[in-house]
Structure 1
């Protein structure tokens, strides 16, 4: 294998991925700041935020999955310079995600009694319920922003969403400081203050990104007048057809990590707080992988539009290799700093000791997680959704979850056993998805050579 043909693409990959990574990391760093601020209130408060967000994120995954259908459609339209088609895809994507956001917010509010019925510590549930009710409303602006973001990502203009995320989330941190602790004349709301900060920041992100779309010349071809009330049934069905497998795939993936939160809660407040620390740290590197996955979707989608399948495969492999390098660095960092990082969140020796053990597994699954996220991005660029969805389901729920439950609940391994199950699921997923990618690209190359 000639490595240079792959490493030569690293610069382009990083140029596209870096703003996405930074924007996504901005979201996670706000979560990081939230957890540190809430951690000052004690282990029950940190566990309550973890419990509420675990349920929120499960349904959020459904909405995010539908939004992922927008990026390859925009990338393909843009490479063909079919601007009207791209604008209509953007319009329909925003309308669809708005409706989905309203539905999911309503579902979240309807199912809130579930928090009291899933064998979680009483003190944690009492703190979690009002926080949960507030963040449920943030589902709507979050998914509207996500639809607009996927449009800009599909045009390879990833830096503007990054600016919107970082700017709005800076406001979030300030609001958290004011509302959690009652600073600068604001009322002291505890963890509910963090929820209000999240809601406001998600609304602000929409307006910042819309401003850039209106003002920047990169978006001029798409600033044509299109009625937002004229909905084409066939276009909606196309987005849904592409989006629902990604939605279910995200549901399965976020669901397995959320189930880890709930299983940890069955073991106790300290275990759940430690699980939240390890999960928040792992999410940082996951968001880096998400940036690489978006890059794979954009670049593979472009090459698919050009029908250049040789370059398509080469570019996809280059993205995977770059991700593996990043994942190895992250794994070494997690394992070497595992006894120090948890202290940033909380001053509780029992919680820190549990979290330190979990970071060993978190380090190990960096490579598997990175590969599967990037390969999924490449498969989205190929508009291949159905089979990858079932591969993810089998990996996480047929194989991974039983291991999580058995080792975590039925043995003395506790939360460490839960995370071994997560590692198993991620590893199986990365292997199956990579086999699928190789199969599809081999078939495309054969058709190109005929």
Structure 2
């Protein structure tokens, strides 16, 4: 990354960082998409089982990955302040933290998975598929969290094309394994939805291995001497990572977990409704990769400018990203409005399921717009290392307002399952307004400092 002196240069650098991240995120989302889609083609029970398993796994994965991506603003600030020699040490501490996180997830999952699934009112076939799907994915937890740290470092260096290349290799691996393991082609076992879990676990090992190879042997990583020297675990450094990463992780967890909570609460509805809901959420999540990619790009760029002390440039990048996300959200809303039936047919051949999916997608239009504001705003705040208020806002908006509102509407009105979606829309909209207000407050505080900066920094 380089210092930019004009708006045009900022747009070029922003797009240079953004495009590979967007491709990467879409490809990663496509892994979940194909897991869900191909399981649905195998059978409705498999689609529902993978839906339940995914609803339990995704909040944990994204929340804990959020803690680990706390390394991104740390590395960005080190690069901006010309302290490249400290990057290798910080990345190694991130790897230590990923090992601790992986061990905790495996232990807790071993103890609590069966009781949680038993507590839910699921058909036996759906419960069995969900249990075995999650059991299969557990074999890929260690490399997945390790890759999260490596990718955060790669992206913070501005080498987002490397992450894109790794993920584009992983996608056909995952789809090919799904084809073999879900449907049992070419002599492989016919595992149904469980095969999607096995395929994902293997894919996680593949991307981790490729990332290690790049970091150890390719430029510019060689100059940073990543993994050339051994650095023992430092509680002080782990604490620094947690101070930044835990609020980020909780913010992501609160947002993703509320969607999963809705899916779990909807277990009282029939299998067809669960499957349709999950299909609609899956496609909406794919569209969500656009504001999420902008969010990640803004964390890198704002963090780099703040590390360099260029406060005005940090502000400009922030509003540039949020404006672009808002414009693109209108385009995604049009896709959902006019192509809903075509999208629904991607997930099922059952006319009733297609009709249900199409109805759910109409509601998804509204929270796409809120996501376009809230998610990039969080990215800007992370670049400022202002992370604690965001997770408080997300908790209040999604869990104190959004989820209870959805439960009341679904339980005490004739909206049924759609009531939960209205609750989600309410929570997301309130969260977007509060996060934007927080950003304005932070930028005004820095604006006062900006006035005292030398003229060449303005």
**Fold conserved between structures, TM > 0.5:** yes
Residue 128 (str. 1) matches residue 134 (str. 2): no
CA deviation digits over 1:296-345, x for unaligned, max 9?
10111011111111111111000001111111111110111112211111
- DSSP 3-state at the match of 2:187: coil
**Matching residue of 2:121:** 119
2:75 matches 1:74:
yes
Between 1:36-45 and 1:193-202, the stretch displaced more is 36-45
| C-alpha distance in structure 1 between counterparts of 2:36 and 2:61, whole Å | 19
CA 1:443–1:344 in 2, change beyond 3 Å: closer, same or farther?
same
Q: Would you say the 8 A contact 1:135–1:199 is kept in 2? A: yes
Q: Deviations over 1:369-420 (max 9, x none)?
A: 1211111111111111111110000000011001111122332212221111
The 5 Å alignment of 1:129-278 reads 129-223=131-225, 227-278=229-280
1:129: Cα distance to partner? 1.3
- Which deviates more, 133-142 or 5-14? 5-14
1:413 to 412, 415, 421: 415
Q: Tell me the C-alpha RMSD between the 2 structures.
A: 1.6
Instruction: Write the distance in 1 (CA, Å) between the matches of 2:34 and 2:233.
Output: 41
Distance between the aligned counterparts of 1:87 and 1:178, measured in 2?
39
Q: What's 1:369 paired with?
A: 371
Shift of 1:52: 0.7
2:437 counterpart residue number: 435
Distance, in Å, in 1 between the alignment partners of 2:171 and 2:376 is 26
Distance 2:367 2:254 in 1: 17
- Please say which of residues 377-386 and 410-419 is displaced more in the overlay: 410-419
Following superposition, the deviation at residue 148 of structure 1 comes to: 0.5
TM-score, normalising length from structure 1? 0.96
Does 1:387 pair with 2:406?
A: no
Contact 1:65 1:250 in 2 (8 A): yes
CA contact (8 A) 1:7 1:318 kept: no
SS at match of 2:191: coil
Residue in 2 aligned with 1:86? 87
CA contact (8 A) 1:42 1:346 kept: no
Counterpart pick for 1:396 among 388, 391, 398? 398
What is aligned with 1:14?
15
CA distance in 2, matches of 1:80, 1:382: 14
Aligned to 2:456: none
Q: CA deviation at 1:263?
A: 2.0
For these two proteins, the number of residue pairs brought into alignment is 446
Question: Following TM superposition, by how much is the alpha carbon of 1:137 offset from its aligned partner in structure 2, in angstroms?
Answer: 2.7
Question: Which residue of structure 2 lines up, in the alignment, with residue 28 of structure 1?
Answer: 29
CA distance in 1, matches of 2:411, 2:43: 25
Contact kept, 8 Å, 1:134 with 1:199, in 2: the verdict is yes
Assess if the C-alpha contact under 8 Å between 2:215 and 2:226 holds in 1: no
In structure 2, what is the Cα distance between the partners aligned to 1:407 and 1:224? Answer: 52
Q: CA deviation at 1:147?
A: 0.7
Between 1:309-318 and 1:111-120, the stretch displaced more is 111-120
* Structure 1 residue 139, shift from structure 2 partner: 2.0
Query: Which stretches in structure 1 are left out of the alignment for 5+ residues?
Result: none
| Contact persistence 2:120–2:267 (CA under 8 A) | no
Q: Secondary structure at the match of 2:322?
A: helix
Cα distance change of structure 1 residues 256 and 20 upon mapping to structure 2, 3 Å threshold: same
2: distance between equivalents of 1:340 and 1:414? 24
Output the CA distance in 1 between the equivalents of 2:262 and 2:135: 22
Task: Tell me the secondary structure at the aligned position of residue 307 of structure 1.
Answer: coil
Q: How far apart are the structure 1 equivalents of 2:321 and 2:27?
A: 22
Distance in 1 (CA, whole Å) between partners of 2:84 and 2:231 is 19
C-alpha separation between the residues in 2 aligned to 1:296 and 1:277? 29
Greater shift in the superposed pair: 373-382 or 11-20? 11-20
Do the aligned partners of 1:40 and 1:346 also contact (CA within 8 Å) in 2?
yes
Q: Following the alignment from structure 2 to structure 1, what is the Cα–Cα distance between the partners of residues 352 and 57? A: 27
Per the alignment, residue 455 of structure 2 pairs with none
Aligned equivalents of 1:52 and 1:36: distance in 2?
14
Alignment partner of 1:189: what SS?
coil
Partner of 1:43: 44
- SS of equivalent to 2:42: coil
Give the C-alpha shift of residue 226 in structure 1: 5.3
CA contact (8 A) 1:74 1:154 kept: yes
